[in-house]
Structure 1
Amino acid sequence: MLGRSTPVRGPSALRRTATRTTAVAVGTAVAAVMGCVAGPAAHAAPVPAARTLHWAPCGAPDEPGAECATLDVPVDWSDPEGPTLGLAVARRKATGPGARVGSMVFGPGGPGDSGVERVVGGISRFSPEVRRRFDIVSFDPRGVGASSPVNCSAELLARRPSADLASQTDFDATLAYNKRLRADCRARTGPVFDHLDSGQTVQDLDALRAALGETRLTFHGSSYGTLLGAQYAETYPHRVRAMVLESVMDHSVTRTRDLLRSQAVAAQDSFDEFTKWCADDSACALHGRDVHAVWQGLLGRAERGELDNPDRPGTALSPADLVNRIAFKKFYDVKYAELATAIAGMEASSPLPASPTSAMPLPPATPVFCADWHLPVRDYPEYASLVRTMNSAAPDLPHLLPVHMTAACLGMPTANPQHRLTAHGAPPVLVSNALHDPATGYPWAVSVARQLGRSGVLLTYEGQGHGSVTSGPCMENAVNGYLTDLTVPARGTRCPVSRA
C-alpha cells in the first residue's frame, strides 16, 4: 500500500495567496510528466482566440504591487477545445507608464522554478530601465507551483534508489522503481501528466502573449527558460519582437555522454575559477593552502559518512549534497568567500562515526526534464562508463546533479527530444552567457547562436556565474538597448568582468 499523496512541489503560502486572488478558478486537472506521449503535431496546434486575464492584487504586504491572474489553457494542445488547466500568472506594471513599451514575459528556469514567486517576491534581477519600460510578467509552467503541480506518493519518493549504481541488479532496480513512480504519479495527477514537456509550454506561452494583447512577444528566458524561448522562436518566428536567452541550454546535444561531459566540464571550470580566486585573494578563508587537497579530504569524509552536516549537526552530509548544495550552488552567484568559509568550517569539524547517508532530493520538476531530454542508457556497464566520463571531466565534483537526473529518467518516454534549432525568419535573438557558467557552459551559447544563424547574436560576459545580463554597465546597456529600442549589439560583443 502506497503512502499518502504529497505534491512534489506543494503550494506555498505565496502560491495559495496568488490562487485565491485570481478571478478564474484553477481547473481541476493536475500536472506532472514523466512521459508525455503527444506527438510533434500537438506542438504546432493553432492558438484559439485570446483568453482574458482578470488581474487582482496578490503577494505579501511587504512586497506590494504584484497582480495575479489565471490563464485557462488546454491540457493537450492537440485538442484545444478539450479539458483545461489553470496557468498561474503574475505581473508588475512598468514603473514609467509614459515610457512603457509593453509586456515582457520572463521564462523561469529549473525546470521547476516559479515565475509567480519571482514576480511577486520582487524583480530585482531586471535593470531599472527594463522595469521602467515593461510590465514584467511571468507564470508557473504547467506542473510547477500553482499550475497543477506534480503529485506523487511521499513514501515512494522517499524510497528513491541512490544514483550510485554498483551493478546490473541496481540498474534493473532503478528501472523498475522509475516505472512504479511514473505509474503512481500518473494515477494521482491525471491527464496533464502526459502533456507537460516544453513543446506544450510553447503553446501556453503563445496563449499568454495573446491574452496580454501583444501582437509580438518580448521574452527573457533564463537557464531552463531558454529552452522554452528557443523553441518558441522556432515554432513562431514571426511572433517574436525581442528575445533574450540568458545562460543557455543547448537542446541539440543528443548523446547522453556528450550532455553529461559538457555539464561536468562547466562545473569543474567554475571550481577551478574558485581556486584561482582563493590563491589570489587574501579574503579567502583557505588562502595559501591547497584548496583541491582540502576539498578532496572533505569528499573522502563524506563518502565514508563521517562529514557533519552544517545544517543538521549530528547527521552525515552525503557526498552528493556536499558537491551540489554546498559547492555548486555557490558558483551561481559567485559566492566564493562564503564557500571558502564553509569549507574551512567543515574541515575543522570533528568527524562523525561512519554512518549511511540518504539519496539527494531531486528537483520538483524532474518529470519535465525527462519529457524534454532523451537520455538512453543500455545497461549498467554503459551507466558506469558515463559516471567515469563525468568524474574524469570534473575530478573535484563527482555526484553532480545531471547524473542523478539521468538515473531518474531511465526508462522514461520523451515527448520533446533534442534537435537542432531551425528558427528561420526570427528577428535578432540575443544569446547571453558568462565565459565561466557552472550550469550552462559557454560552448552551449556559442552553439545555440550558430543554430539561430543570422538571427543569433552572441553577447559574452567575460566573468563567472549563472546569469549575467546585469553584470556591469556593458552588459546592462547592451540588453537594455536591445529590449527597449531593438538596438542589436555588434556581433562578437564581449563585456569585461564587473568589479562592483
Structure 2
Amino acid sequence: MPFRDRSALRLLAARGTAAAVAAATAAVTGLAAAPPVHASPAAHGALRWAPCDDPAKPGAECATLSVPVDWDHPDGPGIDLAVARRKATEPGARVGSMVFGPGGPGDSGVRMVVGNIGRFSPEVRRRFDIVSFDPRGVGGSDPVTCSAGLLAERPSPELRSRADFDATLAYNRRLRADCRARSGPVFDHLDTGQTVRDLDALRAALGERKLTFHGSSYGTLLGAQYAETYPRRVRAMVLESVMDHSVAATREFLRSEAAAAQDSFQEFVKWCGGAADCALYGRDVRAVWQDLLARAARGELANPDRPGTALSSSDLVNKYAFRKFYDADYAGLATLIAGMEASTPLPASPTGTAPLPPATPVFCSDWRLPVRDYREYRSLVTTMDRAAPDLPYLLPIHMAAACLGAPTANPQHRLDAPGAPPVLLSNALHDPATGYPWAVSVARQLGRGSVLLTYEGQGHGSVTSGPCMEDAVDRYLTGLTVPARGTSCPAVP
C-alpha cells in the first residue's frame, strides 16, 4: 500500500528495518524526464538456493543476490538482496518464474513467499516458480538502521504552527544524517530506479530471457518503471492497485489520495444502510462517526488497544478506519465504531497523536512533494479536508511532513514505454489507497495495447477477488491472453 501503516512503517531500533525521512523542497515545475535505458545488469554470482529458515512453513527456498549499491558505479560497494522462491507445484506444466514486487513501500517479498503463498491463485502456483525479494534497505536486504533514541523523539505528524513546521524540518535533517551514518552508502541509493536494475539482475540470475512480473500497490511503480526501462525484456506484467507516478504536484497528490479514502468511507456508509448485520444499521452512520471524531479531538475517546489512554482523531482515522478499508471489512469497522461509541468517556485532556510516521527512504526518494512553509502546509491540509471531510489528517499528509527536506532521486514523470508488450492493470473501483483514476491514467500512459481490468468492488488488491478476476489474470499470465478492453468483474460478497 502505499501508506499502509504496518510493515512499511515498521522499524527495529538498533538493527533491522528502520525508516528514514527524505523528500524534496524544490518546487515542481513540471514532470521529470523518463529514465534512460541502461545496459543489462548482471548478477554477481549465481543464486544458491537452500531451505528458508522457517520450519513452521516448509517448502520455500532462499538465496541472496549480490548487486551494486549504485548501479551507475557497478564496480563500487555491493549489497546482498534476500530472495525467496516456491517452485511450481506441477513441474511438467511450468511456464517459468514469476517475480512478485512487494508493496508498502517497505514490505518484505521474502516473507510473502515464505508465509503467505495463498496470496497467489492455485493456477499461478501450479504453473510458475513464485519468486520475490526484499527491496534494498528493507528486511534482509541491508536494512536501513537508525538510532533508537532519535526515532523515539519523532514529533507529532499534526503540525499546528510555524514552530512545529520548522521543528519537523530540523528533526528530519537530524534523522537523515543519523540513518545515513548508521546505514552506509545504501541509504542514498534506495529509489525505485535502482531497484528496477536489481529486478533485471534477478531476472538474469533466474535464467529468464524475459520477465514475468506481478506488482502490487507500491510494487506497481517498480513494474511500470521496469517496463519503461527494459520494454523488450517483459514477457507479461500484472500491475495490481496502481500507483500513478505522473502526479507531479503535492496538492494534487494529496487531494487524489484523500478522495480515494473518502470514497471508501462513503461505500462503508452505503453498505451499512442496507446491511442488517451492520452494527450501526438504521442509524445515521456519518453522525455517529463525527461524534467519535469530536470526542477524540477533546481527548475523551478511549483507545480500545490501550485501556485508560485517549485516542486522537488522527489515530482513529488512520489506525482503525483506513486499515479496515484495505480489506473492505465494513462489518468489522461498524462493530468497532459501535464499541467505541458505547465506551465510557475519559476526562477531557490533550491527546497525543502517534509519532510522525517513519516514511521509508524509498517513498521519499521516489516522490518530490515540496511544501514551502507552514502556510502552504495548512493550505494542503485544507485541500485534503475538503476532499475527505470525514477523514481528517489522513496518512498521506503525515508522509509529506516526514518527507520534508532532502533531494529526490527518482521524481515523478509520465511513463514512456514504447516496445513493451500489453500490460494488464487491475484495480478496484473503490480502492482506499490507489484510487481508480490512477489506474486509468497509468493504462493510458502505457499505451493502447495495455488493458485495465476493473473490479467493481472495494478494497486494496483485486486479482483474486472472485473467479472472474482470478481467471482473467491467470489466462494472461499463463497464455498471454489479454482481456478485452473495458472488461470488468462483479464485486463478490
User: TM-score, normalised on structure 1?
Assistant: 0.91
Matched residue, 1:488: 482
The equivalent position to 1:265 in structure 2, one of 231, 251, 259, is 259
For 2:181 and 2:355, the matched residues in 1 are separated by: 22
* TM-superposition CA deviations, 1:418-452 (whole Å, max 9, x none): 00000110000001100000000000000000000
Deviation at 1:455, TM superposition (A): 3.4
The 1:160–1:323 alpha-carbon spacing in structure 2 relative to 1, beyond 3 Å, is: same
| Partner SS state of residue 90, structure 1 | strand
**What pairs with 1:356-435 in structure 2 (closer than 5 Å)?**
356-361=350-355, 366-435=360-429
Deviation at 1:231, TM superposition (A): 0.3
For 1:105 and 1:9, the matched residues in 2 are separated by: 25
Q: Which runs of 5+ in 2 are unaligned?
A: 1-8, 25-32
Matched residue, 1:75: 69
Q: Which runs of 5+ in 1 are unaligned?
A: 1-6, 17-29
| Partner SS state of residue 86, structure 1 | strand
For 2:58 and 2:357, the matched residues in 1 are separated by: 29
Deviation at 1:352, TM superposition (A): 1.4
Deviation at 1:245, TM superposition (A): 0.2
Matched residue, 1:102: 96
The 1:101–1:202 alpha-carbon spacing in structure 2 relative to 1, beyond 3 Å, is: same
Matched residue, 2:123: 129
Give the ranges of 4+ consecutive aligned residues of structure 1 lying more than 4 Å apart after TM superposition. Answer: 30-33, 39-43, 361-365
For 1:296 and 1:213, the matched residues in 2 are separated by: 56
The equivalent position to 1:312 in structure 2, one of 297, 306, 311, is 306
Matched residue, 2:339: 345
The 1:154–1:232 alpha-carbon spacing in structure 2 relative to 1, beyond 3 Å, is: same
* TM-superposition CA deviations, 1:308-365 (whole Å, max 9, x none): 1111111111222211111111111111111100000011111112334334356655
The 1:461–1:362 alpha-carbon spacing in structure 2 relative to 1, beyond 3 Å, is: farther
CA contact (8 A) 1:266 1:438 kept: yes
For 1:35 and 1:291, the matched residues in 2 are separated by: 38
| Partner SS state of residue 138, structure 1 | strand
* TM-superposition CA deviations, 1:348-384 (whole Å, max 9, x none): 1111123343343566552211100000111111110
Matched residue, 1:184: 178
Q: Does 1:52 align with 2:54?
A: no
RMSD: 2.2
Task: Kindly tell me the number of residue pairs found equivalent between the two proteins.
Answer: 477
Q: Does 1:120 align with 2:114?
A: yes
CA contact (8 A) 1:112 1:365 kept: no
The equivalent position to 2:22 in structure 1, one of 34, 59, 76, is 34
The equivalent position to 2:446 in structure 1, one of 440, 443, 452, is 452
Q: Does 1:198 align with 2:186?
A: no
For 1:245 and 1:61, the matched residues in 2 are separated by: 32
CA contact (8 A) 1:461 1:497 kept: yes
Matched residue, 1:87: 81
Matched residue, 2:59: 65
For 2:322 and 2:358, the matched residues in 1 are separated by: 18
The 1:276–1:395 alpha-carbon spacing in structure 2 relative to 1, beyond 3 Å, is: same
| Partner SS state of residue 203, structure 2 | helix
Deviation at 1:122, TM superposition (A): 2.6
For 1:296 and 1:223, the matched residues in 2 are separated by: 30
| Partner SS state of residue 225, structure 1 | helix
* TM-superposition CA deviations, 1:202-225 (whole Å, max 9, x none): 011001101111000000000000
CA contact (8 A) 2:299 2:310 kept: yes
CA contact (8 A) 2:34 2:416 kept: no
The equivalent position to 1:9 in structure 2, one of 1, 8, 11, is 11
Structure of greater relative contact order (alpha carbons < 8 Å, 6+ residues apart) = 2
Q: Does 1:436 align with 2:430?
A: yes
Deviation at 1:453, TM superposition (A): 0.9
Aligned partner letter, 1:10: L
Deviation at 1:411, TM superposition (A): 1.3
Instruction: Report percent identity of matched pairs.
Output: 76
CA contact (8 A) 1:53 1:69 kept: yes
Aligned partner letter, 1:140: D
Matched residue, 1:465: 459
CA contact (8 A) 1:9 1:145 kept: no
CA contact (8 A) 2:136 2:143 kept: yes
The 1:49–1:370 alpha-carbon spacing in structure 2 relative to 1, beyond 3 Å, is: closer
**What pairs with 1:135-174 in structure 2 (closer than 5 Å)?**
135-174=129-168
For 1:43 and 1:299, the matched residues in 2 are separated by: 49
| Partner SS state of residue 192, structure 1 | helix
The 1:35–1:324 alpha-carbon spacing in structure 2 relative to 1, beyond 3 Å, is: closer
CA contact (8 A) 2:280 2:338 kept: yes
The equivalent position to 1:208 in structure 2, one of 195, 202, 211, is 202
Deviation at 1:50, TM superposition (A): 6.2
Q: Does 1:497 align with 2:491?
A: yes
